[in-house]
Amino acid sequence: MKFTPEVPGQQSAAGPLRQPEISPTAARGLTQRAITLRLGLATAGSTLSIAVWAGAAVLTANRGFDITDEGFYLVSYRWWHTNLRTFTGVQYIYGPVFQALGYNVADLRLVRLLTVLAANLVFGWAFMRWLRVRRPDAPLSRLWELSGAAAITACGGMIYSWLPLSPGYNDVSLLGALLAASIVLCIATAVDLGRTVRFWLPAALGLIFVVTLLDKWTSSLATLLVVGVVGGLVLAQAGGRSLARAAAWVVAGAVLTVGLIQLFLIPLGAAIPQLLATSRLVSSTNSPVQLFDLYLRTALHLLLAQVVTTFGPLLLAAVAVSLARGKPARWVAATLAVVAAGYSAWRLITDGDLHGGTVNLGRYPVGLVGVLAVALVVWIGVALNDRFEGPTTPTTPMKSGSRSYSWAIFAMLALIPVTQAVGTANPLSYMAINAFSLWMAIMIAILTGLTTQAGPARWLTAAMAAGAVVLSATIATDGLWSHPYRTAGRDQDTAVAAGVPALSSLRLDPAAARAYSRLHNLLQPYIVPSGRAMMAFDEMPGIVLLLGGRPVGEAWYSRIDDARTAAGIRSQCHGGRGWWGSREPVLLYNRPPRATDIAALNYCGLNLNTDYRMLAPSSATIGLRIYVPFQSGRGRQP
């Protein structure tokens, strides 16, 4: 049968041709079902990504042990209320938790997972609720919020990309920043909707201020400054009285938190002076000028030498996609974007940018920074195009004043990953990438702000957001499973260190497990009962933990700062005597003793030559020089 198209004004022999009738209600129903399907698929994909890296965290919770940084955290938690010489107050946060868990390392790692999931989910939900006010055309279903929160939480797995397996001060700094941002977003939502800000929100912000400053004051001070300024701008929209009332509740929450710490955790009059003294010693080796130079050089290298090399064609395609007008131009731009995206994916795979762990720190930030850069280029291009040519579709009017501080909210989300990273002697990208979930929120805002008329620009941004979720899950899982922090991968960690109670919850590399067992057995006469004073030179506090010892001075004996270590040792001796009494410390060296060490020992009334002997040749003590007192009980010869 031959089909003859109808010509306007012409009728066929059988009468006028009739088009199928679809009511507006039915059309809206079809659109809503399509939107619901897309949101459901996005939520399912993000949930699967969360399940992958969170599952890896569960399955590796009892595998591996790092005697350096992780050992520092754990031994400081073990003696959180007695050994106060430290540069971070993180031990007052996780120490009581570790004690309540019976000093079970695997369980502490599971607690870390729960806190990471909870903080990112709270932030994701708070952000999506705030964003809905700015997206009046968003689907009414709560699946819209859930899909965004799931994507943000999926990217929260980046905290597992390379940090130690047990929680540390970087966890508190990052999770505190996420919760602080969540509170500001909740306050902003209440202000936008004309509701009263609940008192507990600013009060909780006061609690977060105290806890994060106690944990890591350098980066937390910068983060809280950003949060405070943005929160003030938000509350100013509700009037001066609301701002003053919220500020009062922040102060009240902070004062209450300080009082609870003083009453139930640790006397701050004893803890704070030790924190300040140690922080001054640490800052002497990390000057602001040196850190700024490091941050600038490494940031420029990441952006100009790595991101541009891998994502250069895709960045150009993003410009074309965002500026293209007309169907032919859009098809050409979309084709270029597909080809460029394939090239970038090929580079990420062949360059090894999909692996986590410290050995890959110089590579894997490239992919995540790259997809964020592409989304930002699309947003800028579309905004400029709309400015000069007019928007593709009319926008829905919004509540007066609701956009006046949006820029501040987005600035806060952009800056927090950077501020929580400052103060460390690592490149900023190494630490900032752990907080990628905040940048993911910006990508979601860009994606949801593009109208359906944006076409290829919207699809490209959606592809970048999906790529961020996949990259986060891949890198985090690899960092847990195959390249955990300074320890063997899960498949190699199969043995228990027999006779070492501190590590009873963990499985280790068989060779390491045997070595730790032999060391523990060899030192048995000197370390029972537990709590023997020990000095571990340098950077191996995990040895002190597995031997059941208690550090003298700082738990961390710096490899590059002998003076700092010596100052920590001297701080434990008053009148030439240490707190250990007649049970002198066991000394552990992974290098020959130095003059600064010997001088610090002499200050405490100890003489390495007359009071100590080598326990055994270093070949029998995993390469360590171990000095024990001549007599186990008193330590000195008659």
Per-residue pLDDT reduced to its tens digit, 244-289 = 999 999 999 999 999 999 999 999 999 999 999 998 888 777 777 8
Contacts of 350 (CB under 8 A, 6+ apart): none
pLDDT at 545 over 80: yes
pLDDT (tens digit per residue) in 282-329? 877 777 788 888 899 999 999 999 999 999 999 999 999 998 888 888
353 domain residue, yes or no:
no
First to last CA, the chain: 117
Tokens standing for 130? 């705030």
- Residue 52's alpha-carbon distances to 41, 116, 152, 359, in angstroms, are 16, 14, 15, 22
586 domain residue, yes or no:
yes
Amino acid residing at 9 = G
Q: How many CB atoms lie within 10 A of CB 533?
A: 20
pTM (2 d.p.)? 0.92
Question: DSSP class of residue 495?
Answer: B
pLDDT (tens digit per residue) in 425-473? 889 999 999 999 999 999 999 999 998 777 889 999 999 999 999 999 9
548 domain residue, yes or no:
yes
Paired sense of beta strands 586-589 and 533-537, if any = parallel
Number of domains present in the structure of the chain: 1
Alpha helices (runs of H) in 156-168, residue ranges in sequence order: none
Half-sphere exposure of 229 (CA within 13 A, CB side): 14
Residues facing residue 278 across a β-bridge: none
Closest residue by Cα to residue 294 from 416, 163, 426: 426
526 domain residue, yes or no:
yes
276 domain residue, yes or no:
no
592 domain residue, yes or no:
yes
Half-sphere exposure of 43 (CA within 13 A, CB side): 16
Instruction: Supply the pLDDT for residue 390.
Output: 58
pLDDT at 161 over 60: yes
Q: Using an 8 Å Cβ cutoff, are 480 and 57 in contact?
A: yes
Quickly count helices (H) and strands (E) in the chain: 24, 7
Gap between the Cα atoms of 52 and 156, Å rounded: 12
Half-sphere exposure of 535 (CA within 13 A, CB side): 30
Please give the residue range of the domain that contains residue 566: 501-629
555 domain residue, yes or no:
yes
Burial of 17 (0-12, 13-18, 19+ CB in 10 A): exposed
619 domain residue, yes or no:
yes
